[in-house]
Structures are given as structure tokens and as C-alpha cells.
Structure 1
Amino acid sequence: MKKSNTILAVLCLFITWSSTAQDKQFTLEEIWGGAFRTNYMDALHSMKDGEHYSVLNYDRVTQSTSVDKYSYTTLSKVSTIVDSKDIDNIPFFRSYTFSNDETKLLLITESVPVYRHSQLGTYYVYDTKTKKATLVSNQKIQEPTFSNDGSKVAYVYNNNIFYKNLETGKEVQVTFDGKKNETINGVTDWVYEEEFAFVRAFEWNKSGTKIAYLRFDEREVPEFSMDVYGNQLYQTQQVFKYPKAGEENSIVTLHMYDVDKAKSTHVSVNNYEYIPRIKWTNDANILSVQKTNRHQNKLELLFVNATDFSIKTVLTDTDEAYVDVTDNLTFLNDNSFIWTSEKDGYNHIYHYSKTGKLLNQVTKGNWEVTNYYGFNEKKGMIYYQSVENGSINRDVYAVNINGKGKKRLSSKTGTNNATFSASFAYYINTFSNSTTPYEFTLNSAKTGKVIKEIKNNQALADKLKEYDYASKEFSTIKINGNDLNMWTIKPKSFDASKKYPVLMYQYSGPGSQQVANRWNSSNDYWYYMLAEQGYIVVCIDGRGTGYKGRDFKKVTQKELGKYEVEDQISAAKELAKRNYVDADRIGIWGWSYGGFMSSNCLLKGNDVFKMAIAVAPVTSWRFYDTIYTERYMTTPQENASGYDDNSPINHVDKLKGSYLLVHGMADDNVHVQNAMRMAEALIQANKQFDYMVYPDKNHGIYGGNTRLHLYTMMTNFIKNNL
């Protein structure tokens, strides 16, 4: 009897544990405290021999970093290339870059962010033969880059270009006119960095005899200033050049520096507004230059001869709306080149001769190429990523350069991304989907077959089994004649006979995508938390978003915020028809472009939406930068109605629901001016709203407990207003 009672007690305990093991609820403290972080392969580099790769590793015990070399065939560590604990004065480094022959590495030990992509840092050159580290400069510098033979490092300091001879230790100054807020040499200005997504604006040629670089004359660009309050008695001020739509841009010019002659030459490139890319071809005397007009609807590829500075236009790509600038331009051994374009209505790969003659359209179909990985010269194979298996998925493919023999290499449905070995014999595949955290596998580039697993996140997957939540459901919804991609998160205890409030999330910017079959972001855990508190969370990619063809993406041209808003409002009305949706409790939120959208939706859809949250929103396109805004809207002088009719600041009189406006005061991207002017417009319209400004926080609004505070506030706002 006593034994039976013991067994019964154990059985009851097991049943109780089983019933509660999956009842844990997500908390904001966990989400923003890093409880659900995933493991990655950091700074993966395929080594030139094609048989090895290197990875940046961090040792939590010694708090040191190392670059370790691994075998593709065994996945075992072969050696440690460099370890910070073995080097004097370098306790830790954040990243590494190899010289071309892989005998030297550039290590960054201290870094200070400038803007989104740029940083200042203390850099060392580590020699793998001598095992010694040499400081590149006593100053914090930008974008150090090896010459092709690894004998020199060029960099930018105080808006001027320098290079250091690593054999003699001699430093040479290349430019002399750099000055803050006036002239920049070798790195980009704010708007180029943000909208053309590159910082280093200089390039060594193949022989290391010349440096091509861009010079930015910012003197006529209007200044923007931000107060930074910090913790001192008086605030400081950050002043920088920021060209708003319709205003003056930097005058950007191309220059060529001859190392032997120690002389720079200005290369005249006529009839352009922007030079978004420069890149040396495989010919040491031929530089490729991409230039575009202010509307960005005509992109030209030029070849510049570095000997006589003659220029030849090799290719011209045009579009009624705009032409995207990419990093896919790749020169083959014969100086023919790979190019990607939307000219047939979808983004595809093209092969051109070195004179610009079209040799072949390599990929074709009503689907988009989303990444170009490279070309195997030996086998004549091109490797790429595309959405052939549905626009929410990504797969890895191989195809002959003549367009034949296409093969899907990835096998799992979701998001696959490849990093190929230098020999193209192997690739490391990164896979995830909405139910599978990141998996890293070694695959055969010939067949796609998995050779070995390298790393997974099974521990995270097991941990999440303790939580009571339902995964995303993917579907489409018919809106305004289009089948729009959609995901839905419902409460685990969803009952179709009940009525639920709905929170819609979107971003909606041109070419973007939020409905994708990939692993969770931090926001997703927040949505799961909200779902378990009784909300349905929905995300819909409307017109203007990406990966469904040129026409679907560019329909919003000259009217940002019109069709995208119509789609979200119509989608909310369609959702309201569903029996389980409480039509009187539909809300919407978004960040940046998404905040612009959520604001517009609450105002223009005031009979549909009960509440909206707008974080760091654009409230008038007149306040945003030239390159991004004019790409889609032309200038305010040309398209005043397009700017004003769709900007929420001009529709505040329509506000009926609850509105939370949030911004960071040190946002160099979407200036807090947007929120201030929106607030003033609401005040003058006598409209009540909730408002939060985060001191000294940029567009990301993070640091310390900031994200926790922000999401606690947003959660409470949703609970109180939806």
C-alpha cells in the first residue's frame, strides 16, 4: 500500500510536470535579455586553397578572440592562425581581413561607430610568418585595405587618404584637402553610406601601382545638427551634412593616384549626379565606374583607362522608375563580366563580353535572383540564390553560364544561404525556417548533398519546447487584385468561435520583405507573447515590397504611401470579415518606413484601425534624404503632390484612434524633426496622443535597458488601447 502511494505520487508529479513543461510564457526581460539568441558562424572566410575556411571564435574563459582554420573535409580545426592572448597589447579583436596571399591579417581592436556602416578603429597588421603585430597608425582610422601583394595598407584619417609601406614602415599621405563638413577623400558622405550602402570609396588596382578614389565636396550641402545631452553639465552638438530631398548633394569626383609618381589626377566623368560604385577589373589599367543621374533611372557602366584616362561606356541600364545598384558586378578571367538587371521584369543574371556585348541572359523566369554567389571558371558554372520555390523561400542553385543544366542544390524548404569554398568544391549552407533555428552544414557544390553538419541551434529549439506558443501560419490574402503574402500568429488556445483583437505589423518599404520563411527575430518572440495574451498578430507584404517582380515593386513610384496604405487598410477590412476577428479592435504598428505607414493607416483608415504605434517614422518625405527619397519620388519641386498627399503630417485632422509616437533624439537617419513636427501638427489640430522621445538614441533605439523600456511601453499601450 505504501509502495503504491509512492508510485501514485511520482506519477502525479510527472503528469503535473508534463502539463506545465510547455506552459512557460515569454517575458520581455527574456526577449531583450538575450535568452533566445542563436549561434552563428562569425566572420566565415573561405581560404584560397579551397580546402580550408577560417572563423572568428571567442573564448569566454580567457575573454580572447582567435581566427581558427578548419578543414572542409573533416570540419576539424587544423590550426589557430592568430589568438589575441598570444599578442602583446591586443587582448581582443572584433574582426579580421586577410591579405590576398593570406600571410597577413588586419585586426581591429578598438572601434567607435560613426554612422550605420562606418567606424573608426585601432588596427594592427598581423604577420603569420613572423607572428608579430604591427600598429597601422597611432590614430583611429577608417577602412584600412591591403594592396594586392600585401606590401601596403591604405586607409583614411581625418578625411584624407594615406598608405603605409609595411616593409619600410613609411607612411605616405595621398590627399591633403580633407576637412570635416567640407571635403572627404576615400570614404563616403552620410547619404552615400546610408543609401548606396558602402563606406570605402577607394580601390587598389591589381598591381598595387594605383589607387582610384572618390572625393566628396560637401560645402554646398545643408547642415543638420543634433543635440547630445550625455551626462555633463552642458550638452554637445553633432553637426553633419545631410541633403534633404530637393537640396544640394555633395559634388563627387573621380581621381586616380599613381603610387610611383606620387601624383593624383582628376578623371572627368560627364553628365552624372552619383558615382555609386568603383571597381578595378582584372586588367590593372582598367577601372570600372558606375554612374547614375539624379532620378537614378539610368545607370551606366564605364571603363576608365588608367594610362590615358580615356573613358568608354560599356553598358547602360534604364528603367521608367529606377535602377537598383548592386554588388553583383563580377569580372571573369577574360574580363567579361556578370551583371544583374530587372530589364525583363524580374531580377536576373546576364553575361557580357569585356566590350559590353550581351553574350547571354543566364537566368530567366517569373521569379527573382536574390543573391549572386560566384562563377566556377573551371566548370563554367554560376551559383546563385533565388525565390524559384516561392517568394517567401530562398534556395541555392547552380547553372551553366550558357543558361543550361540548372540544378537546385538546397533541399529544405525555407531560407538557404551559401558560402562557397574558393575552389567551388564545397559550400557551407545556412538554413532556417519559421520552425527551425539556424543550421550550418557542409555541402557538395556539385550535388548539394549534405556532407556533414557543422553547427545547429538544437539547444534553443529544445528550450522553446517549454513555451506555450503557436508557430507562424503562412498564407496569402487577396487584396486589390493581388495575392499578398501573409503570416499569422494565433494564441495556442485559439478558438474560432471567439472574437480576438488583431495587431498588424508591417514595414512596406520599396523592395522589402517581412513575410519570409525564416527563423525568429526578437520581435517574433514579442508577437508570440502578445498572442498568448489573447491577440492575433498578422503581417502582410503589400504592393511595393520585393521579390515578386519589377511591376509589383515599382507600382508605388512617385506616390510612396498611397498603394501600400490602401493595401493595409483593405487587408484590415478583409480580416474584419472573419468570424474570429473583433472588427472594432484592429491595430497596426511599424518602425521607420513602417512607422510612416502605421501613422498613415490610422489617419486614412480611421474607420478601421483603433490604434497605431509609430516608431522613428518619416512624417513628411520632405524631411528625408535625397538619394532614397528621390529614387522613388523624384524631387519635391517636380512632385509636390506626391510628397504632400501621402505624408501623415498633412492628415492629422483625421485622427480618431489612439496613437503612440516614438523617436530617438540622436537619430541621424530619420531625424527627430519628423516626430517634433508631427507632434506640433497634432497639438494644433487639438488631437490627443501619446509621445515618447529617447535621449541620445539613434534610429535603432537601443542600449542598456532602452529596448526593454520601449517594448514594455508598447505592450502596455496595446493592452490599454486594443
Structure 2
Amino acid sequence: MRKISLLIALVLMGTVYGQKDITVESLYKTYQFFPKSVNGFNGMKDGQHFTQVSTTGEGLSITKHKITAYSESGEIILNLSDLKLDGEQLDVQDYSFNDDETKLLLLTDMQSIYRHSYSAYFYVYDLKTKSIERLDHSDSPQTLATFSPDGKQVAYIRDNDLFIKDLAANKITQVTSDGKKNEIINGTTDWVYEEEFAITKAFGWSPDSKHLAYLRFDESAVREFTMEYNVGALYPELYTFKYPKAGEDNSKVTAHIYSLTNQSTAHVKLNEYEYIPRISWSNVNNTLVLQTMNRHQSQVVYTKVELKGTEWVANAFYTENSKTYIDIDDNLIFLNDGVSILRTSEKNGYKHIYKIGFDGSEFQLTKGTWDVIDFCGIDEPNKFVYYTAAKKGAIHKGIYKIDLKGKKDVAISSETGQNSADFTPGMNYFVKNYSNANTPPVFSLCDNNGKEITVMENNEFLKNRIAKHEFAKKEFVTFDLNGRSLNGWMIKPGNFDPAKKYPVYVSIYGGPGANTVADGWDFNSAWHQLLAQEGYIVVSVDPRGTMYRGKEFKDKTYLQLGKYETEDFVDVAKLLQTYNYVDANRIGIQGWSYGGFMTSLAMTKGNGVFKMGIAVAPVTNWKYYDNIYTERFMRTPKENESGYNDNSPLFFADQLQGKYFLIHGSGDDNVHYQNALEMANALIAANKQFDFFIYPNRNHGIYGGNTREHLFRMMLDYVKKNL
């Protein structure tokens, strides 16, 4: 099963307030409304036990627990508090077992690189001998260290090169030697693959531990982007990295297989492609499957790579085409028959599960006018695949299982609210995370029929806290707009009086791949409750282009990002103006990232319907954003000039009405600060007054130290003054 990082377990808790008032400090300094999670859950190979990091009498320890008789105290496997090397205490931040669970990889000194990537120092701990040693004695940190299936070796990345350590022989083999910053990357990914394909690990072990497949990125032709940081220094430093913007050159990515037996590397020859977004080994034989895509991301090709004699032979066995684009996800399962896979596709209008044979055959398992969301795993002996889906509508996510013949399809969780499942090896048990819009997350251990065995965390402290603060109920609503129906929610002040008129704060995102209207717990709920406490009605809506309503709804914005979403937000605001309890002249809008883009368009193209807008870290012209994301929806600027210009707030700055607040981090490697500067220039040229604030060195998340408290206090003051 997937490991849950120990980092998520860190929860900042304060004392329970004895009053109703919510404050910015309680949200973003003492984190009074942050829910607890399950601490480092890691299923064990026998399928009957799991490990987690617990506070015991010995200090912080990795403990072993029986699933069917769970208790917080368990057998101590390793006392982390006493773990030392050369007299120094090791601060372990994550861990993983080898296959026979006799050794541990311990991760320390983790440092973030980008959103998902990190560097760290790894140690190997032998549970039998109780010995510990560094994985690599170089001064350079490593990343993505992974045991081989037989547990005898570890592959990892250092300085853009791929290494293998033989644990018994204590010998390190350098698989590649051409790695160089901003030029060649082996085994991990470049910035744009990490951000837009959500992949950092670009290597994998074959099932027999004799081969290592990996991707090589030649980013030497990719143009560089430079940011200034350490602005407190006399001469601030510059950070330069490769960032391919819309229409610009990508890394040249190739696939390779290293054979440990003869220490040779083979180049996998593929048909024409632009991207290799996924690389996966079959779990039953030495068959590698690569997914490749064209530049427009309108075609995906599945290629099988097998060892024939002494050569690796690649054969494409399945191709899907789309008139718009195809999303890449992790929904890929190899079946034990060795000749077929399960995948998801939107080819028939909704996202469903298909069985694909290496001979090109195809069979659809799930059917209906609803979307599958994610795979949870497969129980091959009993022939069931487990998945999540939005069967009860886009705001809900339930857990289901269906047999491999596509006949028996049953729910194993509530079909309303938000449910997710993390299965143990063997697929007999899973940890369920359930919440709804007004109930914090509950983590429970369940069997594979959904029967609850025990509750691991019910966040009772947070339920009591929100009760004491008298949180207003989040209500789901439908906005009917000229024949189209949009999902939304509304939070009214606790002392709401329908005879009065209230200002409205519209909280948005609006972009592809993310919904803000979901029947699940959202940490931002406390921020919205604070606004409601201040007398504002808070509203959110998912416009056309958002998820889980079928491909036609999702793809409506193709080639015109911003057009239909802006129309939807403006029309919702106009509809709200007709409500008896809404002050028609006091409607504001706020969004972050894509939501900042939408806010900027709404404040310019909205003809004054919004009195105030706060745009945090917005894209202001898609030509400034990365090519994988942007071209997926817009193609290149050369191919679609009008699509880029007609929906860029830069070209509508002269139409700005109302109070507009532009906020950005100068160290944003994702949506570059350049976007905010260009928006500022356009507004200055149009002689429009606006408010502008920059957070020095902060990235796209705008956090660190007092940053979040400062940001939201500033936003609250702005709302109270201008709305």
C-alpha cells in the first residue's frame, strides 16, 4: 500500500477556545481547526498487520499493530528516539520496508526541491542485526531510494545520476554518469513532468530484480528561467532552472533498461512521441509498459517492451485518440494473466474502467453516466477491482468494487460525502477516510466489504471545537443559468435573517482538474466560517470545465480557458443579485492560482458585477505558463493566438471596475511573478488604480513562518474595508 508520510502527522494544536469568535491567529498561527490524520500508516506484507509511528514509553517508535485487534499501543519494531550513528541522533522523517521486512530505509534531512520532489539522506537499518549504515557516503544528498523486489539492492538518484547499492557486498554501481544540473537528468524528472504529470520517480525495478528501467531527460535545449532569492543579502542570489513555457522546446526524453547481470544499458526504441508520462513494470513477468503521448496530448499509446533473446523489443499494443485531450493518471493495473491490463478512459463520454489485452482487445467493466475517479487496487484471487467514483454526483466520492466480468458492482462505503481507501497488501483490509462538508475526517479500519473494524481517528476534538464556535452549516445549492446547471455551496452567517441584506464573498478556483464544490471537509472551511462570522455570505461554484460531470462538460473550455468559466461566475453573481437577502452592490470574488486568473478576468470582463476581487498568484496570460499544462487545453500560442489573447486579463485591464488586490510570491517557481508584474504594467498603462503586495522569496503556496497568518489577516482587512 502507499505510505503516508510522517510529515502529514504533524498537527499543531492549541487550547480549546471558550468563545465563539474565530480569529486569523487561530487559523494560521496556532492551527486550532486543523484535523488530525492517521500517523504514518504502512500496511505489512502479511495483510494482517500494519506499522505506524507512535509515541511510546520509549519515545518515538515504529510500532506494529494487528488490524483486527487494533490498539494505539503496539509491538515496538524500532525506537527512533534512540537511533544514533556516530553519536548523532537521526531525525527520521519517513521509512519503508524491503520485501521480506527485514530491513528499513530511513529518510532524514528531507529538503523540498519543488512541489513533490525532495533531497534527503538515507540510511539502511537491519532489523535482525540492529545495525545501521548510510546508503551513500557522498556529501551530496539522494532521492527516491527504492529497495529491489528481492530486497538485496537499493536504487537511488544522486546528482542527476542513477546508482544501485548491493547491500550484502556493500558495493555501489553507478548506472549513469552524464547527469548534470540543467542539462541531463537520469531516473527522475524535470520541472514540468513533476508539476503536470505528477511524476518524480522515473525508474523502476523489474520483478526479478535483474533489470532497472529508467527515463533520461536531456533538457539542454529547454530555455531557462531565473528567479531572485535571498533578497535580504547585500547582493541577492539568482536561481536558474529549466522551465518550458507554452510553445517552447521540451526535454528530449528517452527510455532505457539497465541489466545488472552484464551491466549493460539498452535504449528502448519507440515510435514518434513527445512525452513519456508513465513507466511501469508488470508484477508477474519482465514486461515493461510505457505510455507515450503526442505534443497536443490528444493521443496516448501503450507500448509493451519485452526481452527477446538479448534484445529489448518494443511493440505498441493500444492507442487512444481524442478530439480534445487525454488526462494522464495512475489508473493502471497489470493482471496476473500476464497479457492484459486495466486502465480508465473517457472515450465513451464518461471515465470508466477498461480491460485491455496486449493483443489490442478491449472490454469495458464499468458503465453509466458518472465518472470513475481512482483505482484502489485489485483482489485477483476473488477477481474484484476496487475503485472510487462519483456515482451520486460530482460533489460525492464513494468506494466500490466490481468483478472482472463487469457484472457485480457494489458500494463498500457511503455513496455520499467524500470517501477514500488505502488498502493493505492482500486487499483484505483498508483504511477509510470519510468526511462530509460539515463533519471533519474520520479514519477507520475496514474489511474489504466495507465493514468497520475500528475507528483509528474520529477528530472528536475538532467536532467539539467547531460546535463551541458554532460553525454555520455549509449548504449545497444548484445555480440554474440559462439552461445550464452548476453545483455550488453557500455558508450564511450564524445569525442569518432573511429579511436583511448581506454582502457575498465568492470563493473560487474554476480550473480543470479541481473542484471546490465537494461534500467533504475542507481546511479552508474555517476561513469561510470566519468570513460568515463577520457577516458575509460565502459562496463557491464549479463552472464549466470542472470535474466528474463527464467529458463534454469538462472539455467545454478546450482552446478557450477562461471564457466560459468567467461567463459562469458573472452569471452566478447576477443571479445572486436577485436574491432578497443579498446586497446586490456588495459581491466580491477571490481565488488563488487558476482562481486568481478567474478573479482577474471577472474583475475586468465582469462589467462591474463584482465590487471587489482578490487575485492570489494568478496566471495573467497562458503564454507565460508551462507547456504541458497549457497546451493540453490551449495548444500552442502560434496555433491558437485568439484563444490566448481573448481570455487574458492583460488585454482587458482598461475594463477594470471595483477594488482589485493582486498578491504574489516573488519566489513562485510555478506561476511566475512575471504574471503579476505584467498585470501591474497593463493596469498602469490603462491608468487603473489597484492594490499590490509581494511576498519576498515565497513560492506558489505563500507560506513559511508568519506568512499565512499575515496573508489572511491582510485579506480579511481588505474584505472588511472594501466589501
Q: TM-score, normalising length from structure 1?
A: 0.94
The more displaced of 431-440 and 488-497 is: 431-440
Deviations 1:517-546 (A, max 9, x none): 11131x221111111111111000010000
Indicate the structure (1 or 2) with the bigger Cα radius of gyration.
Answer: 1
Give distance in 2, aligned partners of 1:244 and 1:43: 37
Measured after TM superposition, the shift of residue 68 of structure 1 is 1.7
Measured after TM superposition, the shift of residue 410 of structure 1 is 0.9
**Gapped regions of structure 1 (runs ≥ 5):** 1-19
- 1:22/1:532 CA distance change after superposition, 3 Å: farther
Tell me which amino acid in the other structure corresponds to 2:114. Y
Q: Which residue of 1 aligns with 2:386?
A: 383
Tell me which amino acid in the other structure corresponds to 1:661. L
**After TM superposition, where is structure 1 displaced by more than 4 Å over at least 4 residues in a row?**
20-23
Q: Does structure 1 conserve the Cα–Cα contact (< 8 Å) formed by 2:282 and 2:288?
A: yes
Q: Does structure 2 conserve the Cα–Cα contact (< 8 Å) formed by 1:45 and 1:54?
A: yes
Q: Does structure 2 conserve the Cα–Cα contact (< 8 Å) formed by 1:511 and 1:547?
A: no
Secondary structure of the equivalent of 1:309? strand
Residues 376-455 of structure 1 aligned to structure 2 (within 5 Å): 376-411=379-414, 413-446=416-449, 448-455=450-457
Tell me which amino acid in the other structure corresponds to 2:43. S
- Residue 91 (1) aligns with residue 90 (2): yes
Residues 14-413 of structure 1 aligned to structure 2 (within 5 Å): 24-33=20-29, 34-57=31-54, 65-76=60-71, 77-89=73-85, 90-138=89-137, 139-307=140-308, 308-335=311-338, 336-358=340-362, 360-411=363-414, 413=416
Counterpart pick for 1:493 among 495, 520, 544: 495
Q: Which residue of 1 aligns with 2:506?
A: 504
Deviations 1:380-431 (A, max 9, x none): 1111111112221111112111111221111373111112232222222111
The more displaced of 135-144 and 636-645 is: 135-144
Tell me which amino acid in the other structure corresponds to 1:40. S
Give distance in 2, aligned partners of 1:58 and 1:242: 43
Tell me which amino acid in the other structure corresponds to 1:101. D
- 1:469/1:316 CA distance change after superposition, 3 Å: same
The more displaced of 263-272 and 678-687 is: 263-272
Measured after TM superposition, the shift of residue 333 of structure 1 is 1.2
Measured after TM superposition, the shift of residue 216 of structure 1 is 0.7
Give distance in 2, aligned partners of 1:675 and 1:72: 51
Give distance in 2, aligned partners of 1:266 and 1:665: 41
Q: Does structure 2 conserve the Cα–Cα contact (< 8 Å) formed by 1:334 and 1:354?
A: no
The more displaced of 396-405 and 294-303 is: 396-405
Give distance in 1, aligned partners of 2:668 and 2:281: 35
Q: Does structure 1 conserve the Cα–Cα contact (< 8 Å) formed by 2:396 and 2:415?
A: no
Q: Does structure 2 conserve the Cα–Cα contact (< 8 Å) formed by 1:25 and 1:467?
A: yes
Give distance in 1, aligned partners of 2:243 and 2:334: 34
Give distance in 2, aligned partners of 1:203 and 1:423: 22
Q: Does structure 2 conserve the Cα–Cα contact (< 8 Å) formed by 1:22 and 1:465?
A: no
Q: Does structure 1 conserve the Cα–Cα contact (< 8 Å) formed by 2:284 and 2:336?
A: no
Q: Which residue of 2 aligns with 1:708?
A: 709
Q: Does structure 1 conserve the Cα–Cα contact (< 8 Å) formed by 2:397 and 2:415?
A: no
Deviations 1:644-691 (A, max 9, x none): 110111110001211000000000000000001111111111111000
The more displaced of 46-55 and 567-576 is: 46-55
Q: Which residue of 2 aligns with 1:12?
A: none
Give distance in 2, aligned partners of 1:230 and 1:686: 30
- 1:181/1:480 CA distance change after superposition, 3 Å: farther
Give distance in 2, aligned partners of 1:134 and 1:328: 36
Give distance in 1, aligned partners of 2:61 and 2:345: 40
Deviations 1:450-470 (A, max 9, x none): 222222111111122211331
Deviations 1:613-658 (A, max 9, x none): 0000000000000100000000001000001110111110001211
Secondary structure of the equivalent of 1:650? helix
Give distance in 1, aligned partners of 2:357 and 2:255: 25
Q: Does structure 1 conserve the Cα–Cα contact (< 8 Å) formed by 2:221 and 2:249?
A: yes
**Gapped regions of structure 2 (runs ≥ 5):** 1-15
Q: Which residue of 2 aligns with 1:656?
A: 657
Give distance in 1, aligned partners of 2:722 and 2:463: 34
Tell me which amino acid in the other structure corresponds to 1:54. T
Measured after TM superposition, the shift of residue 437 of structure 1 is 1.2
Q: Does structure 1 conserve the Cα–Cα contact (< 8 Å) formed by 2:393 and 2:548?
A: no
Give distance in 1, aligned partners of 2:55 and 2:684: 51
Q: Which residue of 2 aligns with 1:9?
A: none
Give distance in 2, aligned partners of 1:403 and 1:412: 19
- 1:643/1:21 CA distance change after superposition, 3 Å: closer
Q: Does structure 2 conserve the Cα–Cα contact (< 8 Å) formed by 1:367 and 1:548?
A: yes
Measured after TM superposition, the shift of residue 588 of structure 1 is 0.4
Tell me which amino acid in the other structure corresponds to 2:26. E
Secondary structure of the equivalent of 1:563? helix
Give distance in 1, aligned partners of 2:514 and 2:645: 23
Tell me which amino acid in the other structure corresponds to 2:135. V
- 1:257/1:708 CA distance change after superposition, 3 Å: same
Give distance in 2, aligned partners of 1:42 and 1:573: 46
Tell me which amino acid in the other structure corresponds to 1:321. T
Q: Does structure 2 conserve the Cα–Cα contact (< 8 Å) formed by 1:159 and 1:180?
A: yes
The more displaced of 613-622 and 325-334 is: 325-334
Measured after TM superposition, the shift of residue 435 of structure 1 is 1.9
Give distance in 1, aligned partners of 2:650 and 2:53: 47
Secondary structure of the equivalent of 1:528? helix
Tell me which amino acid in the other structure corresponds to 1:391. A
Q: Does structure 1 conserve the Cα–Cα contact (< 8 Å) formed by 2:17 and 2:465?
A: no
Give distance in 2, aligned partners of 1:341 and 1:456: 35
Q: Does structure 2 conserve the Cα–Cα contact (< 8 Å) formed by 1:663 and 1:675?
A: yes
Measured after TM superposition, the shift of residue 21 of structure 1 is 9.1
Secondary structure of the equivalent of 1:424? coil
Give distance in 2, aligned partners of 1:453 and 1:52: 16
Tell me which amino acid in the other structure corresponds to 1:495. D
Q: TM-score, normalising length from structure 2?
A: 0.94
Give distance in 2, aligned partners of 1:675 and 1:582: 31
Q: Which residue of 1 aligns with 2:11?
A: none
Q: Does structure 2 conserve the Cα–Cα contact (< 8 Å) formed by 1:606 and 1:657?
A: no
Q: Does structure 2 conserve the Cα–Cα contact (< 8 Å) formed by 1:25 and 1:468?
A: no
Secondary structure of the equivalent of 2:599? helix
Measured after TM superposition, the shift of residue 696 of structure 1 is 0.5
Measured after TM superposition, the shift of residue 596 of structure 1 is 0.2
The more displaced of 703-712 and 40-49 is: 40-49
Tell me which amino acid in the other structure corresponds to 1:338. L
Corresponding residue pairs, total: 698
Deviations 1:93-129 (A, max 9, x none): 1111221222222111111111110000011112222
- 1:526/1:282 CA distance change after superposition, 3 Å: closer
Measured after TM superposition, the shift of residue 211 of structure 1 is 1.0
Tell me which amino acid in the other structure corresponds to 2:511. G
Tell me which amino acid in the other structure corresponds to 1:261. N
The more displaced of 469-478 and 421-430 is: 421-430
Secondary structure of the equivalent of 1:73? helix
Percentage of identical aligned residues: 47
